[in-house]
Amino acid sequence: MPLIALRQLLDSAAAGGYGVGAFNVNNMEQIQAIMEAARETQSPVIVQASRGARTYTNDRFLFHLMAAAAELYPEIPVVLHQDHGNSPETCISAIELGFTSVMMDGSLLEDGKTPADFEHNVRVTREVVDYAHARGVSVEGELGTLGGIEDGVGSGEVHLTDPDQAVEFVARTGIDALAVAIGTSHGAYKFSRPPDGEVLSMNLIEEIHSRLPDTHLVMHGSSSVPKDLVDAINEYGGEMQPTWGVPIEEIQQGIRHGVRKINVDTDLRLAMTGAIRKVLTETPDEFDPRSYLKPAREAMQGVVAERMRQFGQAWHAPELEPKPLREMQALYA
C-alpha cells in the first residue's frame, strides 16, 4: 500500500470516532515494531520522525526503511510524518524526500526553543500549507507551547492554547490538524503527581472542538509513562525518579472531543530500554546486538499494539481505500 496523506487518515478516524497513535522512530527495529503491531491489530498508523531522528538515521536510510515497510505490509495504511518541523525549509525538505505529512511548529522560532508570536506562527505555517497542499501533502500546525524538552525541541514553558486564537489560526493557515497545548509535556518527567484538572486542561479540548468541529485536534506529549515500564528499567540498574504521564482515560476523553492524532514516544523508549537492560544484566557476557534488540523490539511492539487498541484504531485498516497524493492534490485545489 502506498504511503497516504494524514488528512485522509484523520478524516476516516473522525468518521469512525477513533484516534490514531503517531509513533516516533529512529531506526529499523522501531519501524519493525510499529508495523508488526499494526498488522497484529489491523490498524492504520502514523510513523513520525523528528529532525533529530532524520539526522541520526540519515534521510535516505529513513525513507527507504519506510518504503520497505509499505512494501512488506501492503494491507496497512501508513502516514509518514515530519514531527516538529522548525522552519518551512525543514518541512519542504521532508516533502521532497517523500513524507506525506509535515508539522510546521511555528509556535517556536527556528531554534526550536524560543516562543514565537502569533503572526510569525501564521506566516510560516501558511507558507508550508501552500507548498504542501499543492503536492497533496497534509500539514499539522501548533498553537501554544508544551512543557518539557525532548529531542532538542521545547521552550520548557507551558502556554495553553487560546480558543479565540485557535479559530483565527485555522482560518488563516488552512491547516489539516491543530496541535493544542493543554498542559502536557515532552519527555518522561511530565508530572510530579497524578495529573488532574489543575495541570491537565481537558476542558480546553472540548471548547476548541466545539468551535472548530471540522478541525482534527492533536495531543502532543501524550505518553502515559506506565509505572511498570519505569520499574523494569530501575530493576535492572536504572535510576529513574517517580513520574506520571497522561492517563489513557484522559486521552480517550480527548478522542471523544475531536482528538484524532496522539503523539507517543517516551513510552516506546521506556519499553525498549527496560528490555535491553534486562538482557545485559542477566547475561553480562552477551555481546550480540540481536540478543537485546530483538526483545527490545518485541517490548515496543507490545506497547504500540496496546495503544492502538486503547485509541480505537484497531481493526480499521481494511476500511481505508488509499488515495494517491495526486488525488489529494486535486482535492486540496
Catalytic residues: 83
**Separation of alpha carbons 120 and 126, rounded Å:** 10
If you count DSSP H runs as helices and E runs as strands, how many of each does the chain have, helices first? 13, 8
Residues 6 or more apart whose CB falls under 8 angstroms from that of 53 comprise 24, 25, 26, 62, 83, 151
**Separation of alpha carbons 163 and 157, rounded Å:** 19
Q: Strand pairing partners for 138? A: 101
- 62-100 residues labelled b (16+ CB within 10 A) or e (exposed): bbebbeebbeebeebbbbbbbbbbbbbebbbbbbebbbb
User: Residues 268, 261: contact at Cβ < 8 Å?
Assistant: no
Q: Which residue has the cell 516533502?
A: 95
User: Residues 72, 53: contact at Cβ < 8 Å?
Assistant: no
Q: Which three cell numbers stand for residue 101?
A: 505529512
Q: Strand pairing partners for 46? A: 22, 79
Q: Which three cell numbers stand for residue 15?
A: 468518521
User: Residues 202, 253: contact at Cβ < 8 Å?
Assistant: yes
* Residue 291: its H or E element: helix 289-311
Q: Strand pairing partners for 264? A: 23
DSSP letters for 72-109:
H-TTS-EEEEEEEE-SHHHHHHHHHHT-SEEEE-TTB-
Q: Strand pairing partners for 24? A: 48
